[in-house]
């Protein structure tokens, strides 16, 4: 009973919080207008995203608020306001941020009105905040992942206070709905269905920087999708660190498969994607819902991480090599046209060349359409960082190259199976290298380039898959 009351209060507070934030947007508008008068033009802003699709979606929320406050969005860090939405899943993401901050400082010296803000996962690490306070004094605003919904309020604080504004929370149970969003694409959108992660894979920093798993209410998700569809969106990507455990902690529990069935009913919505699935939680119910669905795309991202049962245990992944292979086999048998993609880590502490061979064996058996291969990165505070048997860099490199080669060879083989077929593609953009070509995405996530005019962007067209070029196709529109 007490839990119910607190959830209801939270909901009411959530709605009140949305109202509060809109008041702060109004206040921010006044400051932006004053700045506009001083500059004699509309102030510009630039949102730079590092990391995953969750961050990309968060950046759209930041952009939505900045635009309402009166900034003009541009893709140039010369802007009057620059915000970095950071990632800390691997150390190279952190290093890139530090490197680029130096450049921002030189731009700020030329533009005294320039403001610099940092947010996202990296800011949840106390050592990062210490470093910025010490060596990057020119940063104006820092906040983390849990209070991103307070961005408008923090923006106002930045205008009103002298010096660096820092607001980092350790955790939150709040989900604030209905804040403004500025979408990057008119025809497709990401949608958060849950936040945080409870899995604590031993190498991963995400549960520490994104907090515990919280699912959004299905009604709020459906309402958001209906609005997006009314606004021209045809493809959605449901986002969560582990979508397969969606809904378990809701007041009225619902499975991810049931949520998908509800979303399928939304008229006008053409394609449904989701990311990421944890193999340990992927249910038969989900496979059956995918199999009979007309809208769920023929693509499943199923992170393997390692093919060695011993390493998987050390990683706290809670499945064995055999269980993973059985699952992949079941999915391929039930849905033969599905594309499987994965994430692989090479160089986890204690990994031997024999363990790498186990990973290669899984790649050869599953034959992924694509795989992201990462070198293990030691993240302070995670159990794996304290393990003594860290693998030397040169040994990791040998294993990494072998894994990468296997991924490329098997993927080429799999992707080539589509040659000569006619399939639907959602036209996403004009090709970056050749403006006479359009770039589209098949239901199974494979990219295809073909001739066509830009009026087709956002439309689903039939494409003849003429030539396979490794991971992508050259094709022709079929009238």
Which of 69, 4, 80 minimizes the C-alpha distance to 32?
A: 69
Which of the choices ligand SF4, ligand 5AD, none does residue 199 contact, using the CB cut-off of 5 to 8 A by kind? Answer: ligand SF4
204 binds ligand SF4 (CB under 6 A): yes
Q: Smallest gap, in angstroms, from Cβ of residue 207 to ligand SF4?
A: 5
Binding-residue pattern over the window 173 to 202 for ligand SF4, x denoting contact by CB under 6 A: ------------------------x-xxx-
Could you tell me the two tokens for 407?
């991924």
Q: How far is CA 472 from CA 289, 374, 442, in A?
A: 28, 21, 10
* Listed ranges 122-130, 204-212, 259-267, 410-418: which one lies at the site for ligand SF4 (CB under 6 A): 204-212
Residue 43 to residue 73: CA distance in whole angstroms? 9
Whole-angstrom CA distances from 199 to 156, 322, 350 are: 36, 20, 21
CB of 166 to ligand 5AD, least distance (A): 26
Residue 343 interacts with ligand 5AD (CB under 6 A): yes or no: yes
In angstroms, the Cα distances linking 179 to 19, 161, 273, 288, 364 are 9, 24, 23, 35, 45
Restricting to residues 239-258, which ones interact with ligand SF4 according to CB under 6 A?
241-242
Where helices occur in 119-176 by DSSP H, the ranges are 126-135, 151-160
Residue appearing with tokens 């499945």:
319
Residue 203 binds to ligand 5AD (criterion: CB under 6 A) = yes
Residues in region 373-392 near ligand 5AD by CB under 6 A: 374, 376-377, 379
Q: Which residue has the tokens 């969003």?
A: 181
- Residue 266: name the closest of 219, 307, 298, 217 by CA: 219
CB of 159 to ligand 5AD, least distance (A): 36
Residue placing its CB nearer to ligand SF4 in the complex, 188 or 278: 278
Minimum Å distance from CB 276 to ligand 5AD? 7
| 373 touches ligand SF4 (CB under 6 A) | no
Q: Give which of ligand 5AD, ligand SF4, none residue 449 binds (C-beta under 5 to 8 Å, depending on kind).
A: none
- By CB under 6 A, residue 278 contacts ligand SF4: yes
Nearest CB to ligand SF4, comparing residues 172 and 199: 199
**Strand-strand pairing, 141-143 and 437-442:** unpaired
381: left (phi over 0), alpha (psi -120 to 50) or beta: left
| Cβ closest to ligand SF4, residue 11 vs residue 280 | 280
Size of the site for ligand 5AD (CB under 6 A): 12
Q: Does 282 interact with ligand SF4 (rule: CB under 6 A)?
A: no
C-alpha neighbours within 13 Å on the C-beta side of residue 217: 15
Q: Is 204 in the site for ligand 5AD (CB under 6 A)?
A: yes
400: Cβ–Cβ under 8 A, 6 or more apart, which residues?
346, 347, 373, 375
Which residues lie near ligand 5AD (CB under 6 A)?
A: 89-90, 203-204, 303, 305, 343, 345, 374, 376-377, 379
| Residues within the interface to ligand SF4 (CB under 6 A) | 197, 199-201, 204, 206-207, 241-242, 278
């Amino acid at each position: 009973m007490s839990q119910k009351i607190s959830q209801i209060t939270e909901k009411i507070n959530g709605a009140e919080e949305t109202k509060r934030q809109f008041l702060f947007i109004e206040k921010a508008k006044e400051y932006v207008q004053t700045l506009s008068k001083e500059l004699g033009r509309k102030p510009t802003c630039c949102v730079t995203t590092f990391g995953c699709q969750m961050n990309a979606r968060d950046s759209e929320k930041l952009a939505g608020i900045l635009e309402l406050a009166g900034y003009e969005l541009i893709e140039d860090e010369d802007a009057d306001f620059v915000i970095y939405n950071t990632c800390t899943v691997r150390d190279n993401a952190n290093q890139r941020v530090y490197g680029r901050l130096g450049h921002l400082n030189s731009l700020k010296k030329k533009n005294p009105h320039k403001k610099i803000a940092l947010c996202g996962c990296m800011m949840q690490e106390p050592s990062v905040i210490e470093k910025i306070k010490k060596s990057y004094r020119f940063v104006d605003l820092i906040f983390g992942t849990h209070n991103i919904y307070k961005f408008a309020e923090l923006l106002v604080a930045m205008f009103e206070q002298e010096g660096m504004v820092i607001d980092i929370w350790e955790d939150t149970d709040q989900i604030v709905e209905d804040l403004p969003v500025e979408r990057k694409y008119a025809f497709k959108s990401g949608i958060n269905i849950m936040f945080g992660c409870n899995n604590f894979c031993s190498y991963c920093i995400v549960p520490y920087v994104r907090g515990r798993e919280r699912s959004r209410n299905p009604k709020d998700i459906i309402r958001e999708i209906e609005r997006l569809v009314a606004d021209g969106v045809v493809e959605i990507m449901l986002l969560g660190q582990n979508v397969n455990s969606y809904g378990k902690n809701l007041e009225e529990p619902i499975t991810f498969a049931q949520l998908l069935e509800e979303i399928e009913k939304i008229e006008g919505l053409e394609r449904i994607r989701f990311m990421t699935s944890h193999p340990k939680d992927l249910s038969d119910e989900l496979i059956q819902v995918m199999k009979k669905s007309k809208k769920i795309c023929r693509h499943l991202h199923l992170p393997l991480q390692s093919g060695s049962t011993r390493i998987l245990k050390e990683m706290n992944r809670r499945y064995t090599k055999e269980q993973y292979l059985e699952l992949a086999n079941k999915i391929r048998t039930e849905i033969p046209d599905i594309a499987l993609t994965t994430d692989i880590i090479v160089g986890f502490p204690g990994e031997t060349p024999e363990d790498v061979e186990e990973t290669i064996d899984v790649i050869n058996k599953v034959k992924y359409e694509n795989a992201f291969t990462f070198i293990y990165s030691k993240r302070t505070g995670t159990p794996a960082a304290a393990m003594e048997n860290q693998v030397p860099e040169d040994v990791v490199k040998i294993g990494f190259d072998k894994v990468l080669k296997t991924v490329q060879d098997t993927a080429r083989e799999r992707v080539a199976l589509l040659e000569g077929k006619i399939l639907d593609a959602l036209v996403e953009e004009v090709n970056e290298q050749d403006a006479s070509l359009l770039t589209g995405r098949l239901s199974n996530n494979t990219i295809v380039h073909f001739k066509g005019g830009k009026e087709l962007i956002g439309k689903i067209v039939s494409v003849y898959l003429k030539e396979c070029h490794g991971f992508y196709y050259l094709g022709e529109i079929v009238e």
